[in-house]
Structure 1
Amino acid sequence: MNKIRQNFRRFLQDFYLVLIMLFLYAPIATMVVLSFNSSKSRTQWGGFTLQWYTQMFASRNIMAALQNTLLIAFLSALIATVIGTAASIAISSMKQVPQTIVMGITNIPMLNADIVTGISLMLAFIAFGISLGFKTVLIAHITFNIPYVILSVMPKLKQTNRFTYEAALDLGASPLRAFFKVVFPDILPGVLSGFLLAFTMSLDDFIITHFTRGAGINTLSTLIYSEVRRGIKPSMYALSTVIFVAVLALLLISNFAPKKKHEA
């Protein structure tokens, strides 16, 4: 009797998991299939085609938005990684109470609603007389990416041995050389994870970008939003599929690549 109950419970757990996965990924799978449908109808299959991908790459607006998206994502992730790593080192050297307070303040942007962050940054730019455009989007992305980098680097810093750094200084190494020779190799997996996570968050952001971009500049997320309001085009399915695959690949790399390197 107990075995029957255990098997039934296991069946319910597996069924629940399958149901959740189906609910989450069935719409994405539908979008991917429609991106290869030669018919513009969303209910009829007209045959396999790559014309929507060809149309997507031939569009100047989409390519300009793609260029802006990749450039903003790379620059914001790179700058946020440098600032976040330096901030993590400073925070790790603090005493327990100040460190707890600073970490709590650092986590606020991640817990705060994106729409609040976007409106706040927009009002700040306007108050300081900064015209909305590429630079404001870049600054906004750097701002919300820094906490994610700190969150990735801090655990690695806690695992490092401070005595090795002090030993390097005693042996005649300069503080900068001792850091890059002793500390940086140990925290490199966390730095890489922070960079990839920041790149992914920037690539996928819409709300903050929407409020800080101003006129004349589009990223992929804002372009898709504006195009969908006019009517869904099959090329948007192709573009959304490319974004999904890119984000999925980056997430897989950020989750598994550092672990494999650390285990090696």
Structure 2
Amino acid sequence: MAVLATGTAPGLRIPRSLGTGLMVVPAVAFLVLFMVVPLVSFLVRSVTGDDGGFTWQYYAEIFTTANYRSALINSLLLAIGSTLITIVITVPAALHLARIDGKRAIGYDAVLTFPLSLPGLVIGFFVIILFGRAGLAQSASTALTGHPSFVLAYSMPGLLLAYLYFQLPRTLGILRGAAAALDPDAESVARTLGASPARITATVVLPALWPAILSAAGIAIASSLGAYGTVAALSEGFRVLPLEIAEQGTVLQNTALAGAMAIVLAVLSAVFTVINHLGERMIERSAVRA
């Protein structure tokens, strides 16, 4: 069906499909220029040897060289571990927030979404201020016991804390919407039948929230894998793949190895993004059935 486009000469008709197609051109052009082109360039460099021929040597290095393999494993452990902790924290928080409204809800929203406005580097320095060598935890421990406490900031626990900081609002937003859509009658029926709160949570609430949990976990892991600023602020010998990519690509000028690492990281992020989409599809199907 043809429609008259706004601002065109009288009698000039533009197909609706063409008009709506033109609206997405800027977004597609941006993604092609700043995502597809660099990824293709990385891919070509990562499979091109010194002699110009095809090679898998740079990918082999990632999995056979101890430092690079350790950085890859650390990235996965940080992303998955922090996500699991975040889910445990945010599920009960989402259930509570779904049941309140008014000024309290606005206040919670303001506090819980604030980390989204902060860059990763700033979050890293927050952890240093709290748990660094001259941090508040050290000062408090020295004042109370006469001995400094264990320094968390530059280790795996410190990085987990930092990752939690920027994962919480992202995860909570997804889970809160799903918690608000839960059927209260299902819980009431289970309670009437004598089910305990723990059993209601395990057999009614969590299965209903499972698609949202899957979606939130996928997007949290995918975004955490590429975190750079936070790790750059806190890393002292603790390596993750984004740090290795930056060092190989900028300091050592080994763009082929950096490209291979970037492709591996992109593939891993894509896998968890697909998990996020699966969760979203499950949520949509549940909404349709309801």
Deviations 1:8-47 (A, max 9, x none): 856754654553232122111111111111237xxxxx22
Give the TM-score normalised by the residue count of structure 2.
Answer: 0.81
**Which of 4, 17, 21 matches 2:31?**
21
Cα shift at 1:154: 0.7
1:39-118 correspondence to structure 2 within 5 Å? 39=50, 46-118=52-124
2:186 paired residue number:
164
Contact 1:84-1:149 at 8 Å conserved across structures: yes
Residue in structure 2 matched with residue 247 of structure 1 by the alignment: 269
Provide the secondary structure at the position in 1 that maps to 2:29: helix
| Equivalent pair of 2:124/2:229 in contact (CA under 8 Å) | yes
CA distance in structure 2 between the partners assigned to 1:138 and 1:18 by the alignment: 35
Q: 1:180 aligns with which of 179, 184, 202?
A: 202
The one-character-per-residue Cα deviations of 1:154-181 (angstroms, maximum 9, x if unpaired) are: 1111111222212211110001101222
Q: State yes or no: 1:32 paired with 2:43.
A: yes
2:214–2:279 contact (8 Å) kept in structure 1: no
> Which residue of 162, 168, 171 corresponds with 1:140?
162
Q: CA deviation at 1:114?
A: 2.5
Q: Which has the higher contact order (CA 8 A, sep 6+)?
A: 1
Asked if 1 retains the 8 angstrom alpha-carbon contact of 2:221 and 2:269, the reply is no
Is residue 65–residue 223 contact of structure 1 (8 Å, CA) maintained in 2? yes
The letter for the 2-side match of 1:112 is L
In the aligned structure 1, how far is the partner of 2:208 from the partner of 2:64? 44
Output the CA distance in 2 between the equivalents of 1:16 and 1:194.
28
Higher alpha-carbon Rg: 2
Structure 1 runs of 4+ with >6 Å offset: 5-8
Name the % identity: 22
RMSD: 2.3
Range with bigger deviation, 9-18 or 118-127: 9-18
**Whose helix proportion is higher, 1 or 2?**
1
- Give CA deviations for 1:180-224 in whole Å, capped at 9, x if unaligned: 2222221111111111122112211110111123x1211111222
Residues 1:5 and 1:186: Cα distance change in structure 2 (over 3 Å): closer
User: Match for 2:159: what amino acid?
Assistant: V
